[in-house]
Chain A
Amino acid sequence: MDSIIEVNNLTKKFGDLTAVDSISFEVKKGEVFAFLGPNGAGKSTTIKMLTTLLEPTSGEVKVAGFDVGKQESEVRHSFGIVFQDPSLDEDLTAYENMDLHGVLYGLNRKERKERVEGLMKFVELWDRQKDLVKRFSGGMKRRLEIARGLLHHPKILFLDEPTLGLDPQTRNHIWNYVKDMNQQEQMTIFFTTHYMEEAQRIAGRVAVIDHGKIIAQGSPTELLAQTSTQSLEDAFLVLTGHEIREEAPDNWSMMRNIRKAKR
């Protein structure tokens, strides 16, 4: 199996702050890869660089054989992404959001019609196609985003905390969709999560990042052996320590603060 994501000495600096410090790792084609780390470790920054949303300060990233700096368009065609915060247009219906994605990715009308229907049925949202997304629950939005991310048949699916805040049934459904995609289409899965039991169950290989550096890489079993622990959660705590890490406020809390300031 060859590599579908190659990262070499990737660095990102924001002024004096080094968020990502010369990391290197690879993800093999068809793998389910978990990218773990505490808050502020550099996870989101790394994913943004892998998905062309952020320019690296230095280093090399190749996705599906294409360089993220020089072959942006090819890179974007080869992956789908489900973001941590919903990235749907709330004023459109579920169907319209799917269709818009198809247009942005260059699918023709026939392809869009067939695939949108197929994928919405796959995530069991077809009978809600005409509903406005603003009326969807968090779990439904996440399922819709997964369907949307798969629309252009990408080789890689990036998932940033895909099951955060969801009920067990939805979480179960989501991992089933992901496993199906991986097994049937040999789609490479790259995800981050704070739910260590899920990572342990689902992932073939894991990388742990902390303070901008990769501190461990390998299969869950290898990490357990390395840290002499019984669960990935314990291994993680051994590797990253027990201190709580601060995270930046999310956009919704910032919006609430602006509202208060106006009064």
Chain B
Amino acid sequence: MGQPILFLLALGFGFGPIFQRAGQGNYLQFLAPGVVAMSIIFFSVFSGVEIIFDRQFGFLKETLAAPVSRVSIMLGRTLGGATVATLQGLLVIAIAMIAGFRFNVLSSLPLLLLFMFLIAVVFTALGTAIGSLMRDFHGFQLIVNFLIMPLFFLSGALFPLEGSPKAIMTIAALDPLSYGVDGLRGALMQTTHFGLHLDLLVLLCLSAAIIGVGAYFFSKVQV
């Protein structure tokens, strides 16, 4: 929880004046959706990866010995983890509002919840897929540094994609989180880079695909 808030306050107030002077407006308004996305993806991935923990400390055996299909267990964990991650995201928005972030609550809320939940589902399922392939925690730091962080930093969460170098824009277009962040911004501030429909389409397709992948790897887990 602490890290996203730190980002929000330090970067938001730190870069605020520069952003303003560059003619881009209020940085806090721009940044808040990105920070919400950040808290969601980190929590989601940890949630999914938690199964290694369960495997190490036994609870996984109980679920595997039970007459419940692996797919049900995986879906249950994904939806559960995604729900809690979404609530965390709401908490971050609340804190951002205290810091000065403003948005139209009533009209934005449904779309906002949808995008937060979809991002959470994608990353929880991703975490489960990764967790199913790992035997212990050794590789975990590597995964965070070389997969999750790049996905976050190159998603337009921290800086606008319009006007960035072509290389960055290309990578961002391949980064699934970009569509999530864009969707959040669209829901909160009615400005989008890719268009809300594309964002939604990409996230829905990706959710389905990654749940499939996660379910497959989870079904292969042996204690």
Chain A positions near chain B (C-beta within 8 angstroms): 48, 51-55, 72-74, 76-77, 81, 83, 85-90, 101, 104-106, 251, 254-255, 258, 261
User: B62–A73 contact, CB under 8 A?
Assistant: no
CA distance in complex: A169, B173 (Å):
65
User: Taking the nearest CB of chain A, how far is it from the CB of B47, in angstroms?
Assistant: 13
List of 7 A-B pairs having minimum Cβ-Cβ separation, nearest first: A87-B58, A76-B67, A104-B66, A87-B62, A73-B67, A85-B58, A87-B61
Complex CA–CA separation, A254 to B67 (angstroms): 30
List 30 A–B pairs whose Cβ atoms lie within 8 Å, in order of A's numbering.
A48-B223, A51-B65, A53-B61, A53-B64, A54-B222, A72-B67, A73-B67, A76-B65, A81-B65, A83-B58, A83-B61, A85-B57, A86-B57, A86-B58, A87-B58, A87-B61, A88-B58, A88-B62, A90-B57, A101-B62, A104-B62, A104-B63, A104-B67, A104-B68, A105-B66, A106-B67, A251-B56, A258-B136, A258-B138, A261-B138
Q: With the chains together, A73 CA to B72 CA distance in Å? A: 13
Question: Of residues A51, A53, A55, A105, which shows the largest number of chain B Cβ atoms within 10 Å of its Cβ?
Answer: A53
Chain B, interface size: which category?
10 to 19
A-B contact count (CB 8 A): 58
CB <8 Å contact, B62 and A254: no
Is B59 an interface residue when CB atoms closer than 8 A count as contact?
yes
Scoring B residues 123 to 159 as 1 if CB is less than 8 Å from chain A, else 0, what string do you get?
A: 0000000000000111000000000000000000000
Which chain B residues border A85 with CB–CB below 8 Å? Answer: 57-58
B residues near A101, Cβ cutoff 8 Å:
62, 66
Shortest B72–chain A CB gap in Å is: 9
Chain A hits for B222, CB < 8 A: 53-55
Closest Cβ of chain B: how far from A256's Cβ, in Å? Answer: 12
Q: Report B16 CB to chain A, min CB distance, Å.
A: 36
Cα of A251 to Cα of B54 in the assembled complex, Å:
11
B61 contact set on A, CB distance < 8 A:
53, 83, 87
CB of A231, distance to nearest CB on chain B (Å): 33
